[in-house]
Amino acid sequence: EVQLVESGGGLVQPGGSLRLSCVASGFTFSDYWMSWVRQAPGKGLDWVGNIKPDGSGKNYVDSVKGRFTISRDNAKKSLYLQINSLRAEDTAVYYCARGSQWLLDPWGQGTLVTVSS
Amino acid sequence: DVVMTQSPLSLPVTLGQPASLSCRSSQSLVYSDGNTYLTWFHQRPGQSPRRLIYKVSNRDSGVPDRFSGSGSGTDFTLKISRVEAEDVGVYYCMQGTHWPPGFGQGTKLEI
């Protein structure tokens, strides 16, 4: 069974940093693009970005460029999202998902990031 | 950026009756490889989204055949032939043809 388990969320002050992790199982992790999508409380879904199978290429939406960094460790079957200079508007559940914008499935259960003083 | 517009935003339905959800894009979603990367997701309260349909009309494994997707270019539809109680939640369409990818606002299906 394909599983994605996120962790690393929590309460952080504005301007702070956080590193989210997503551990994959049930499929050959190194064969797949991986993506991050976020959802603010009570709101819709927003793309963050994605990363190629070998980590050689990454794409970000403009609103997170320069502050968010996606990386992966294929040996550990893990995907990461480093978030810096956190703002209140970054408060959201962050989901990792297998695949790219062309084929995205499945999603993890998400990890909540709350930015507040 | 491509804007995805879903309608209606709220859809009250009766069990056993059909439902039709619309998704429109501000640009054609036909990609250079000939595919149209329009995906439908379903999100139940408190859960993560689940993919139902990919590339307009391909139903995922385990998705009941009462769900069907159709459309082309900029106009797409998700149809539920007979709504069941487990179908409640929010349905999102997503375009993956153009960067950045984008989701519609969602249609909330209520019994």
Q: What is the 3-state secondary structure (H, E, C) of chain A?
A: CCEEEEECCEEECCCCCEEEEEEEECCCHHHCCEEEEEECCCCCEEEEEEECCCCCCEEECHHHCCCEEEEEEHHHCEEEEEECCCCHHHCEEEEEEEECCCCEEEECCCEEEEECC
Note whether A38 and A82 are within 8 A (CB): no
To test the contact with chain B by mutation, choose from A62, A68, A105, A112 the residue with the greatest count of B C-beta atoms within 10 A, namely A105
Strands B4-7 and B19-25: antiparallel
Query: Could you give the percent of chain A with pLDDT greater than 90?
Result: 97
Per-residue pLDDT of chain A (117 residues; tens, 9 = 90+): 999 999 999 999 999 999 999 999 999 999 999 999 999 999 999 999 999 999 999 999 999 999 999 999 999 999 999 999 999 999 999 999 998 998 999 999 999 999 999
Residue of chain B minimizing CA distance to A39: B48
Q: Output the average pLDDT for chain A.
A: 96
B101–A105 C-beta distance less than 8 A:
no
CB of B89 less than 8 A from some CB of A: no
DSSP string, chain B: ---EEEE-SEEE--TTS-EEEEEEESS--B-TTS-B-EEEEEE-TTS--EEEEETTTEEPTT--TTEEEEEETTEEEEEESS--GGG-EEEEEEE-SSSSPEE---EEEE-
Mind listing the pLDDT tens digit for each residue in A50-83? 999 999 999 999 999 999 999 999 999 999 999 9
B106–A105 C-beta distance less than 8 A:
no
Report chain B residues whose CB lies below 8 A from the CB of A95.
48-49
Place of tokens 């989901």: A95
Closest CA to B110 of B89, B92, B93, B91: B89
pLDDT range class, residue B71, cuts 50, 70, 90: very high
pLDDT at B3: 97
Report chain B residues whose CB lies below 8 A from the CB of A110.
48
Residue of chain A minimizing CA distance to B97: A102
Residue of chain B minimizing CA distance to A38: B48
- CA torsion sign for B5, B9, B13, B16 is positive
